[in-house]
Amino acid sequence: MKYDVLIIGSGPGGYVTAIRASQLGFKTAVVEKENLGGICLNWGCIPTKALLKSAQVYDYLKHVDEYGLKAEAIDKDFEAVIKRSRGVAEGMSKGVQFLMKKNKIDIIDGFGKVKPGKKVDVTDKDGKVTEYSADNIIIATGARSRELPSLPQDGKKVIGYREAMSLPTQPKSMIVVGSGAIGVEFAHFYNSMGTDVTVVEFMPTIVPVEDKDVSKQMERSFKKAGIKVMTSSSVESVDTSGDGVKATVKTKKGEEILEADIVLSAVGIKTNIENIGLEDVGIITDRDKILVNDWYQTNIPGYYAIGDVTPGPALAHVASAEGITCVEKIAGLHTEAIDYGNIPGCTYATPEIASVGLTEDQAKEAGYELKIGKFPFSASGKAKAAGTPDGFVKVIFDAKYGEWLGCHMIGAGVTDMIAEAVLGRKLETTGHEVLKAIHPHPTMSEAVMEAVADAYDEVIHL
Ligand SMILES: Cc1cc2nc3c(=O)[nH]c(=O)nc-3n(C[C@H](O)[C@H](O)[C@H](O)COP(=O)(O)OP(=O)(O)OC[C@H]3O[C@@H](n4cnc5c(N)ncnc54)[C@H](O)[C@@H]3O)c2cc1C
């Protein structure tokens, strides 16, 4: 069977690429070995947000008296919380199935392996191999939880993110290793549900890729919520021979033994590049990633790669954007290359974190003279009314030309606010233009305008 475009993997990279390819008139197929929608819909972005919503509702209920309300016998049903999350994921996967049908995209069930001569072998669950060929083969096989040699995952006491979002019973205590977005989201979820959580982070701050002010605020908020945070610390080994887990943690002050029911390893991802035929075709990889150019072409003509399997931020919106760019280029459209300096990153704990562009340290290192503004939500009427005054918006401008270099937010709902900074930066706006764009009152988004005003010494509500 011959296709114009054949994609291996149906995550937000693969399925979005397939839809765009079909819109462009290509005869398109997607090969998938598991569930349509990939990690994002089934084991990542969406089911975690469903869990976090349950945590948020539960947190509201626990503090209902602060809103002048009364509720009795507040409790949780952990199994039902997990079931809801799995149900949301299942529904989303079915939605992708509908979209494939609507766009006349063939779904091929099985494990795809590229071969020379623009061919792909697909092995189905019964072991039957079928050969397909395509003018353009796009590899979008994504990634899985990374295992550290000191922290081998047994799926029961030392777990990865898949187990963490489908545990049959709630652990009483949990050690979360790694404080990137995944670690922090699970730490918040389990803490809200009543698990005793300790976060162990190798770097000197939690959420270490964020601006230092954001990291500090997150640590304050976590500690206030009762989460123990150990920075500049690393888990050296785990002993799972007893009832729970004993983790040996190296800290600045020496070694400490932590005990917990479960250890969640959230130390990053490992790409799915094994046994997919890369060596047979001669496709070059480097440090676990498939190397591509601006248009996602590998070194072998006709073979492309997008999403987590390539270098760059491992995010769903990046995978989708890369796939769209890739097929638009194949179709001969004058599409723009992706600007990796303008990609928003979000963490959906409480408080939420959202950022884009350079941090203060990065901007200083790049030699810019800076104008920095900051507006705390404690001065925002909307945040006060909502009972969510923690956090701030911080904006960073180049003093000379007014370029908006970075925007960093922490607080309630900021993941929905960061798009303003992404769009502003895309349109090369200046601080004064943002200031003169009237923001509605009362909203959390006013904090962006006020932070910009603060950078230019025109802030009103501080
Ligand atoms: C817990 C968690 C939370 C996350 N939250 C967010 C978030 O909030 N926002 C965000 O932007 N990102 C988030 N991410 C990251 C996001 O899920 C990934 O960046 C995104 O899914 C990558 O998309 P992809 O298409 O490259 O690969 P994937 O989504 O990994 O999809 C790859 C697909 O390929 C299939 N596959 C692999 N090998 C083969 C083969 N040989 N043959 C056939 N099929 C194959 C897999 O089964 C899978 O379905 C999260 C990740 C995790 C783990």
Identify the domain containing residue 260 by its residue range: 158-267
Which residue owns the Cα nearest ligand 1 atom 13? 45
Q: Which atom number of ligand 1 is nearest to the Cα of residue 309?
A: 26
| Residue of the CA atom closest to atom 1 of ligand 1 | 44
Residue with CA at minimum distance from ligand 1 atom 30: 142
Q: Among 321, 340, 359, where does a domain finish?
A: 340
Could you tell me which residues are annotated as the binding site for FAD?
A: 49, 112, 308
* 375 Cα: distance to centroid of ligand 1 (angstroms): 35
Cα of 385 to ligand 1 centre, how many Å? 38
Best residue for ligand 1 mutational test, from 45, 52, 306 (most atoms within 8 Å of Cβ): 45
Number of domains within the chain: 3
By most ligand atoms within 8 Å of CB, the mutation choice from 6, 40, 43, 188 for ligand 1 is 40
Domain end, chosen from 310, 340, 370, is at 340
In a shared domain, residues 306 and 397 = no
d(CA 328, CA 134): 17
Give the catalytic positions in this structure.
441
Same-domain check for residues 302 and 397: no
Place of tokens 């989708």: 320
Tell me the C-alpha distance between 55 and 337, whole Å: 39
**140 with 306: CB under 8 angstroms?**
yes
Q: Which of 312, 273, 314 has the alpha carbon at shortest distance from 292?
A: 312
Q: Are strands 196-200 and 228-230 parallel, antiparallel or unpaired?
A: parallel
- Backbone dihedral region of 99: left (phi > 0), alpha (psi from -120 to 50 degrees) or beta? alpha
Q: How far is CA 87 from CA 10, 99, 161, 182, 437, in A?
A: 19, 19, 17, 20, 41
Helix ranges (H only) for 130-229 are: 161-164, 181-193, 212-224
CATH code of the domain containing 388? 3.30.390.30
Which residues belong to the annotated binding site for NAD(+)? 178-185, 201, 268
Looking at the fold, whether 259 and 275 belong to one and the same domain comes out as: no
Ligand 1 centroid, distance to 44 Cα (angstroms): 7
Same domain, 47 and 141: yes
What is the atom index within ligand 1 of the atom nearest the CA of 315?
19
Centre of ligand 1 to C-alpha 369, Å, is 39
Peptide bond before residue 351 is cis, with ω within 30 degrees of 0: yes
For the chain, 462 residues long, give each residue's pLDDT as a single digit of tens. 899 999 999 999 999 999 999 999 999 999 999 999 999 999 999 999 999 999 999 999 999 999 999 998 899 999 999 999 999 999 999 999 999 999 999 999 999 999 999 999 999 999 999 999 999 999 999 999 999 999 999 999 999 999 999 999 999 999 999 999 999 999 999 999 999 999 999 999 999 999 999 999 999 999 999 999 999 999 999 999 999 999 999 999 999 999 999 999 999 999 999 999 999 999 999 999 999 999 999 999 999 999 999 999 999 999 999 999 999 999 999 999 999 999 999 999 999 999 999 999 999 999 999 999 999 999 999 999 999 999 999 999 999 999 999 999 999 999 999 999 999 999 999 999 999 999 999 999 999 999 999 999 999 999
Query: Are 44 and 135 members of one domain?
Result: yes
Backbone angles phi, psi at 153, to 5 degrees: -85, 125
pLDDT of 1 reads 85
Q: Is residue 462 part of a domain?
A: no
Tell if the pTM clears 0.95, that is, is over it: yes
Q: Among the atoms of ligand 1, which is closest to the Cα of residue 313? A: 19
Residues 276 and 258 grouped into a single domain: no
Q: How many other CB atoms sit within 10 Å of the CB of residue 423?
A: 11
Kindly state whether residues 243 and 282 are assigned to the same domain. Answer: no
For residues 124 and 162, membership in a common domain is answered with no
Could you say which of 267, 285, 317 is where a domain stops?
Answer: 267
Q: Helix, strand, or coil here: 346?
A: strand
* Shared-domain flag, residues 28 and 122: yes
Q: Which residues form the pocket of ligand 1, taking CB atoms under 6 Å from any ligand atom? A: 8-14, 31-34, 38-40, 44-45, 48, 111-112, 140-143, 161, 182, 272, 276, 307-308, 314-317, 319
Give one DSSP letter per residue of 292-334, joined into a string: --TT-B-SSTTEEE-GGGSSS---HHHHHHHHHHHHHHHTT--
Q: CATH code at 79? A: 3.50.50.60
Q: Is residue 152 part of a domain?
A: no
Distance from residue 125's CA to the centre of ligand 1 (Å) = 21
Three-class secondary structure of residue 134 per DSSP:
strand
Q: Say what the alpha-carbon torsion angle 391, 264, 315, 29 is, to the nearest 10 degrees.
A: -150
In the numeric block, the tokens 């949780």 are attached to 76
